[in-house]
Homo-oligomer: A and B are copies of this chain.
Amino acid sequence: MSHVFNDTRNVTDQTRQAVLDAANRLHYRPSAIARSLTTRRTFTVGVVVADVLNPFFAGIIRGVEDLLWQQGRSLVVCSTDEQPEKEAYYLHLLLERRVDGVLVAPTGADLPVYAALRHHQIPLVFIDRRPPQPWGPVVETDNVQAGYLATRYLLDLGHTRIAILGRHQALSTVTGRFAGYRQALTEAGIAPDPALIITVDAQQEAAYQGATALLAQLDAPTALIATNHVMALGVVSAVQASGRRCPQDISIIAFDDLPWLALYSPPLTAVRHATAEICRQAVALLLASLAGHDAETADMVESYPVVMLPAELIERASCGRA
């Protein structure tokens, strides 16, 4: 009797025991499959990111898992490798699985599956990046502020030739960070030099090549900003290879703070995302729209919130101070 398991009815202790005993004897476990078919809830949410192996996304997944596991919700993870086709494929998979909701760091393409998800009333919350169209709420780092923060910090240290490296792909994260970079320079009366704004492919090797080219310029930069963790690895190795000393010859700022950055020689200054807060807000929005469906919010506002969380600069020795 399902009532015993779900406490959905008053039952005498006697019958409860009888049921429980029988259940144990037969190794009975209720089937979540059958339950989902009737209740139309799967207690599962999908998390779609670029790459589970990227520590930034791994942190997001861990944060979301921690917020959900006590509610009996499980997480299915999907790595898109920045391929829109893979993103669409996974979203279709999640749709067929009838997950209760999806958190997605979009590749940037405007996929038809977003409409399909909406049609099936599956809440969608975008994390880290903005979708091309407002298909759902967004929770992201304030990338303009983050780019500004890093650049301003270097300017205050007296740097005037500051280079920035980002992904070649048109992601909202990269464009935001670049915008903040330009804004800080302009405010300081420095015209952004296109030769110091480098975009490369996603791999560490590409970042290495880009940074190496940068350092080989006649009027080479005295400071480098890597707009994500993989780029940071490439930049660091390029600086090593160039024979430059950090921070004497060059300053480095990394994005995405990870344990090893503090152990590097010198310890690397980094821009840290409010990862835990991103997870909290995203999950809150997801659960809210989940509840919203039950409540039949008829005249649902067609504009979704965009939550921007400020980034924080972790000051270490790689810029010659602290």
Give chain A's interface residues, CB within 8 Å of chain B: 27, 29-34, 36-37, 42, 44, 51-53, 55, 58-59, 61-62, 65-66, 69, 72, 74-79, 86, 89-90, 92-98, 115-116, 119-120, 204, 233, 236-237, 240, 258-260, 262-265
Contact = CB atoms under 8 A, between A and B. Distances in A.
B62 A52 contact: yes
Given A77-B77, A263-B237, A42 B52 contact: no
B27 A120 contact: yes
Contacts of A95: 29
Contacts of A44: 76, 97
B31 A96 contact: yes
A29 B92 contact: yes
A65 B52 contact: yes
Contacts of A204: 259
A interface SS class:
helix
Contacts of A30: 96
A245 to B, nearest CB: 11
A74 B74 contact: no
Contact of A65 (B65, B77, B119): B77
A226 B65 CA distance: 29
A79 B65 contact: yes
Nearest to A265: B265
A240 B264 contact: no
Given A37-B33, A79-B62, A260-B260, A74 B97 contact: yes
A51 B52 CA distance: 12
A72 B233 CA distance: 34
Contacts of A236: 263
